[in-house]
Amino acid sequence: MAINNIYLQNEEISIEVNNLWKIFGDNVEKVLDSDTQFDGKTDILEKTGCVLAIKDVSFQVHRGEIFVLMGLSGSGKSTLVRCILRLIEPTAGKILINGENVCDCTAQQLTELRRHTISMVFQYFGLLPHRNILQNVAYGLKIRGMAKSKREAKAQEMIELVGLKGWESYLPSALSGGMQQRVGIARALSTDPEMLIMDEPFSGLDPLIRRQMQDELLDIQEKVHKTILFVTHDLHEALKLGNRIAIMKDGEIIQIGDPEEVITAPSDGYVREFVQDASPAKVLTAKRIMEQPNVLLYEWQGPKTAIHILESTELDNAFVLGRGSKFRGLVTVERLLEIIKGGGKSIMNALEPDLLRCTSDTIVEDLFPLAVSTRHPIPVVDDDGKFLGEIHTSTILGSMIQDKETELGD
């Protein structure tokens, strides 16, 4: 699955955090009302006895995207997402959900927000051990007061969505860790929230199950298109899931960008060290490395004209386009000569059969099998079949080397 193939840029903002602070201690004013606020976490603790958890954090989450908060233990990412729902009270700043400041909400308004707008999925599933899977998934709807028949029908729909049909009557203890996490996701989705906050949901799972759950989440997101704020300490998980990634350190956000930006243009030494072992092939896309051909042919040109163009440019093949730059295929000199000898008049009769192609968001890793399966360049097309560019095998390998050299030379 190509990175970012689910999320289409949407300017509508679901979550906006502005200048958020969270400081634990009895002397928080000594931090916020003085130059101490510009000090680091360790210095603040030594000077004031306060623990700095979140320091002047600002970011926006667009509707329908998976926004990943990534950082090592103690970076503040889990505290940050708990502040968003005021499970932890922020010290200062604003948190806007659909434009409404959560920091001004009453207890009742917060309850409504948590019941109807945002659901949370935690690392530890929190399933009710004495209730079966159907009852666990329907529990949030029961709290809302929904009639039993309706809530069970909705719960059944979500159970099928996460691939657990047939397990409705089992207790959680009968399920594996990955299956229990699926129940947690189904329960969160059952209330049809606009947004999901997922705090390290897969970190307690075995590596193989974890990868399967990541794929499962992407498949589900492709169907439901929720706004997801996802917390992880795992870089590869962030690169796989995130439309955008915010890297945190000592309560601050160091860099925000899409996976490709984070890997290829780290903002400082900390981020560079953080991502140094990540493979660019997992995030670089065809759009970044594609080129424009020196020569293009068109479907209304005859085979003799095509031969003349190719021979004059010393090429043995070229792509053929239709009107509106629609991609039609590829022809070779050899095939054109065969058509001419047979009395053919159309260049379309010379098209190579079953030509491989990709889209602009195809990641480089997925281009490898295409590259070894053809001796021709790989055409890049959009969803409507419009030609965008071409990729050569040498370009795939060269881009990998260049990005690593650039990264090392920064």
Looking at residue 400, its pLDDT comes to: 54
The closest of 299, 318, 297, 283 to 390, measured between CA atoms, is 318
Q: Which domains does the chain have, with CATH numbers?
A: 13-279 (3.40.50.300), 287-399 (3.10.580.10)
Looking at residue 397, its pLDDT comes to: 67
- Using one digit for the tens of pLDDT, what is the confidence trace for 17-64? 999 999 998 878 878 888 888 888 888 888 888 899 999 999 999 999
Q: Which residues of the chain have pLDDT under 50?
A: 1-8, 402-410
393: helix, strand or coil: helix
CA distance 355 to 110: 55
Looking at residue 353, its pLDDT comes to: 86
Looking at residue 147, its pLDDT comes to: 92
pTM of the model: 0.74
Strands 66-70 and 92-97: what pairing? Answer: unpaired
Residue labelled with tokens 């030594």: 46
Query: Helices 177-190 & 148-161, crossing angle to 10 degrees?
Result: 130
CA distance 16 to 58: 7
Residue labelled with tokens 């480089």: 364
376: helix, strand or coil: coil
DSSP lists the bridge partners of residue 198 as 121, 230
Looking at residue 10, its pLDDT comes to: 54
CA distance 47 to 39: 10
- The C-alpha torsion from 98 through 101 and 102 to 105, rounded to 10°, is -120
CA distance 198 to 201: 6
Do you know the residue count of the chain? 410
Q: Which helix (H) or strand (E) holds 14?
A: strand 13-24
Looking at residue 88, its pLDDT comes to: 94
In this structure, the number of other CB atoms found within 10 A of the CB of residue 372 comes to 9
Strands 13-24 and 92-97: what pairing? Answer: antiparallel
